Amino acid sequence: MHWCSHLPSSLYAVAFAVLATQTIGSLAQAQCRQALALGLDVSGSVDAREYRLQLDGVAAALNAPTVQAALLDTPGSHVSLLIYEWSGPADQALILPWTPIMSVTDLEDITEILQQTARRATSPGTALGDAMILGARHLSMQPECWTHTLDISGDGKSNLGARPRDVKPVLLDDDITINALVIGADAPQSGDNRQADIAGLSAYFHAEVVLGPDSFVETALGFDEYAQAMQRKLERELQTLMMSEHDLDAGTQKRDLR
């Protein structure tokens, strides 16, 4: 604090207190309207190419004009984003810690992190229930946010760890929404049955994974369509491009009641 280094000692404490009060006030004004955690499937069924399509797809969706508008066109409140990847029961990793999105620069920084993230060695299992538990745990670290959304991407049913059907009831009291992005198989050389296959997988995620009155399942017919599906999902999760003053007031009241 060079500006106060030459103040008399009697005034230094006053100057410091004023600065601290201003800082606390500015933090209080930066309200979090939504905590959004993205859980990405990196189990054995996801090869190196599909892994790259998934991370690049998240980056492309975040930078789509409609998503950028939904994220940034509400002054005074923001979305806080976390991204993690999951496979087996004990094989999960954090890609992006909780990050407030308040500017285009924030999105550029997140994009750079996603582009620089390299595929790590992972176990072959699909521990979907454990991924749900981890996502809920991450969301619990953002109590100041008005709403809490967990978005699970997956290309198959759970085959290890806690069963999603057992985890889902446990999370009912956590006041979170769980949505899913179901990824079908890539286009085959012949005999395309992807629509039928993804319908069955979507029904599974509807029954055992998604949670909350406004929850939904988005689908991508293969990882080549992941970016477009992620964009559609984010547009829907963010709900509107511009929150009305009524929505902001309702969110503030909900936060104050906690």
How far out from the chain centre does Cα 29 lie? 23
Q: Kindly state the average pLDDT of the residues 136-157.
A: 96
Helical axes 65-72 vs 104-116, angle rounded to 10°: 120
Quickly state the pLDDT bin for 9 (edges 50, 70, 90): very low
Cβ 215 vs Cβ 178: under 8 Å: yes
Q: Which of 102-111, 162-171, 242-251 is least confident?
A: 242-251
What's the pLDDT at 121? Answer: 81
Q: Which of 96, 60, 74 is nearest to 234 (CA)?
A: 60
Query: Phi first, then psi: what are they for 205, rounded to 5°?
Result: -65, -35
Residue bearing tokens 């920084």? 109
Q: Look at residue 74 and tell me whether its pLDDT is greater than 70.
A: yes
Crossing angle for the helix pair 65-72 and 48-62, to the nearest 10 degrees:
60
pLDDT tens, residue by residue, 44-64: 888 999 999 999 999 999 999
The average confidence (pLDDT) of the chain is 83
CA 147/CA 124 separation, integer angstroms: 33
d(CA 248, CA 18): 29
What three-state secondary structure class fits 82?
strand
Question: Strands 92-101 and 77-86, how do they pair?
Answer: antiparallel
Please write the tens of the pLDDT for every residue from 183-227. Answer: 987 655 544 566 677 899 999 999 999 999 999 999 998 999 999
Cβ atoms of 36 and 82 within 8 Å: the answer is yes
Which pLDDT score is estimated for 73?
Answer: 86
- 């006041």: which residue's tokens? 175
pLDDT band of residue 99 (cuts 50, 70, 90) is: very high
